[in-house]
Structure 1
Amino acid sequence: MEKVIQAAEVIQGFLSVSKFLDEAQKKQAEDIIVECVKQAHFKVEEDLFGKGKTLPASDCKKPPTVEKKLAPTWAQHLGKLKHTVAFECIQRRFFEEFPNNFAIEPRYRREEFTNDLMLTDRWGGSKRPDVVLHFTRNATRIHCIYELKFPCGNEQGNPWNDKRVQIQMEEYRALGGECEPVIITPQLEIN
C-alpha cells in the first residue's frame, strides 16, 4: 500500500510540475492583476494627494515635490510607486493561488547560438516584462505576459497609442508565449 501511495504522489508531483494554468486559472490570475493594479493606483494617489484627488495632467512632466524622489518627473515617480505597490499585491495573491506559475519582472534574453530563451541578469539585449505567467516551475516557458501601465494624473489615453509601448509589446511578443502580451491599466483594465 505504501508503494501505491508513493507512486500516486510521484504522479501528482509530475502533473503539478508540467502544466500551464488552464483558462479558468488564467482568468483568475488576470482578475487578480487588475484588482492589484486598481488598488495600487488608488492607494498611491490617496496617500499622496488625499481621498478622491489626483495630480492634474499638467503637472505630470514636472519634478515631484516630495522629499524622497524616485524619478525626475511626477509621471515616472508615480509609476514607480504604483508598480511597487501592485507587485507586492500580485506577489502575495499569486503566492497563495499559483506559487509555481508566475514571475514578477523576470529578465529574459535569447541565447546567442541556440536562440533559446533564458533568464539573465544582463541588461544589454534583455527584456523585463512586469508579470509573466509560465509553465509550472519553468519561467522560460512563457504562458502570458502582462505589462502594467499607470497613466499619470487624470490622463485617460490608451497606452497602445504610444509608439514606444507598441515597440515594447512587439519585443515581448518575440519572447514567445501561448497568448498575446497585454497591457493592464487601472482605467481600461485589460487591453
Structure 2
Amino acid sequence: MRLLVLLAMLQAGCLSEADESTLGMECGPRDLTPECCLKKNPGQWERCTGSSELARAAGVEKTSPLMKAAAVGTVVVMGAQAVHIGSAERRGVELAMDLFKKVEGEIVRCVRRAEQEVNDYHFGGKSPTWAQCQEVKVGERTTWAAYLGLLKHEMAWPCLRKALDKLLGKDRYLLHPRFYVNQQTGAWEHMPEDMMSQIVTHQGWSGLRGTIEPDIVLLDANNVVIHVYDLKFPCPKTNAAKWETYGQGDYWKDWFQGDLYRFALNVEPLLVSPRGGVSIPKGQ
C-alpha cells in the first residue's frame, strides 16, 4: 500500500490510547481507528487492533484467494506530481461527457464488485445484518463493520487503478491523496509522499492532523483537480451513504466531511456506495 517507509516509523507492538486518538484524527470521520491504521500499515493487525488473535486470523486469511486478490496492485508509490486546486479564475477543464460517464460507471462497478466479492467470501453472497455489523469479528476492538469497510476498500483499489489507467492514464487521477493547508500562504495544497513521510518521521501521526484524504481525485490535463469521490460501504447495506461530522478533538470539529472537501478542493465532492452509486447526500 502507500508509503512502505511508514512501516518502519512506528514501534512494534500494540497501539497506545494516545496513538489511537491521533490515528483517528489523522484519518477523519470516515474511518474507524483500526481500519484507518490498517490502511497505513497493511498486515499490521496486532499493532492496529491490539489483538494477537486478529493477527493470527488475518495471517490465515491472507492465504485465501480473497486476500491475495486484495493485495494485487496495492503497493504503489506515487511519483512526484504537481497537483493544483482550481479557483474562481482557474477552473479545471472538465472531461468530455461520454468519458466522464464511463469513468463514473467504472468507479461504481469497482465499488459494487468489491462489495459483492467480500460478501460472497464471508457471508455466502448475503449482506451482513445490522447485528452482525456491530459484532466484534476477532479480538476486542475490530467490528465486522470496520473489518468489512477496510477489506472492501482494499478490494476496490486494484479494480479502480486498472479501470482509470485505461480510461484516463496514470497521470490523470490519484487514489487516496492527501491535502493540507500551507501555513505560509493559507492555501490548500497537495501533500507529496516524501513530505508526508518526513512529517510522520519527525512529528508522528499527530503531525498530519487537519489534513484530508479523499479516496479518488480526477485531474485535467494541467493537473487541476476537477472531481473528488469518497467510497462508502455502509454496514448494513440498507444504511444510507453519508458524510460524517468531525467530532470532539478533531481539527475541523463540527464540519461535515463533504463540506470540508468542497471548501478545500473547490469542487463538489461525491459519495460512491454499492447501493446508491454516485450521489450527493441530501442536506449535506
- TM class, shorter-length: 0.7 to 0.9
Alignment partner of 1:30 out of 104, 111, 115: 104
RMSD value, Cα: 2.3
State the 1:20 CA deviation.
Answer: 4.4
Amino acid in structure 1 at the alignment position of 2:112 = K
Counterparts in 2 of 1:171 and 1:161: CA distance versus 1, 3 Å:
closer
State the 1:89 CA deviation.
Answer: 0.5
User: In the alignment, which residue of structure 2 is the partner of 1:182?
Assistant: 270
Q: 8 Å contact 2:108–2:273 — kept in the other structure?
A: yes
User: In the alignment, which residue of structure 2 is the partner of 1:117?
Assistant: 188
State the 1:162 CA deviation.
Answer: 4.9
Between the aligned partners of 2:264 and 2:158, the Cα distance in structure 1 is 25
Alignment partner of 1:167 out of 236, 253, 256: 256
1:57 to 2:139 alignment:
no
Amino acid in structure 1 at the alignment position of 2:256 = I
Alignment partner of 1:144 out of 227, 231, 255: 227
After TM superposition, where is structure 1 displaced by more than 6 Å over at least 4 residues in a row?
A: none
Counterparts in 2 of 1:23 and 1:42: CA distance versus 1, 3 Å:
same
Q: What are the Cα deviations for residues 166-187 of structure 1, in whole angstroms up to 9, with x where unaligned? A: 711111111224x411101100
Q: 8 Å contact 1:34–1:184 — kept in the other structure?
A: yes
Q: 8 Å contact 1:41–1:82 — kept in the other structure?
A: yes
User: In the alignment, which residue of structure 2 is the partner of 1:74?
Assistant: 144
State the 1:116 CA deviation.
Answer: 3.2
Aligned length: 165
Which protein shows a greater Rg?
1
Q: How high is the sequence identity, in percent, across the aligned residues? A: 27
State the 1:146 CA deviation.
Answer: 0.4
SS at match of 1:21: coil
Between the aligned partners of 1:109 and 1:161, the Cα distance in structure 2 is 19
State the 1:19 CA deviation.
Answer: 4.9
Q: What are the Cα deviations for residues 47-97 of structure 1, in whole angstroms up to 9, with x where unaligned? A: 1121x32222112122114xxx8x711101100100011111101111111
User: In the alignment, which residue of structure 1 is the partner of 2:162?
Assistant: 92
1:39 to 2:102 alignment:
no
State the 1:163 CA deviation.
Answer: 4.5
Between the aligned partners of 2:134 and 2:275, the Cα distance in structure 1 is 20
- Unaligned ranges ≥5, structure 1: 1-17
Counterparts in 2 of 1:166 and 1:45: CA distance versus 1, 3 Å:
farther
1:156 to 2:230 alignment:
no
User: In the alignment, which residue of structure 1 is the partner of 2:35?
Assistant: none
Amino acid in structure 1 at the alignment position of 2:212 = K
SS at match of 1:64: strand
State the 1:161 CA deviation.
Answer: 7.3
Question: Could you tell me the TM-score, scaled by structure 1's length?
Answer: 0.77
1:128 to 2:213 alignment:
yes
Q: 8 Å contact 1:21–1:101 — kept in the other structure?
A: no
Q: 8 Å contact 2:262–2:268 — kept in the other structure?
A: yes
User: In the alignment, which residue of structure 2 is the partner of 1:13?
Assistant: none
SS at match of 1:60: helix
Counterparts in 2 of 1:126 and 1:166: CA distance versus 1, 3 Å:
closer
Q: What are the Cα deviations for residues 9-29 of structure 1, in whole angstroms up to 9, with x where unaligned? A: xxxxxxxxx954223222211
Q: 8 Å contact 2:95–2:220 — kept in the other structure?
A: yes
The 5 A counterparts of 1:1-16 are none
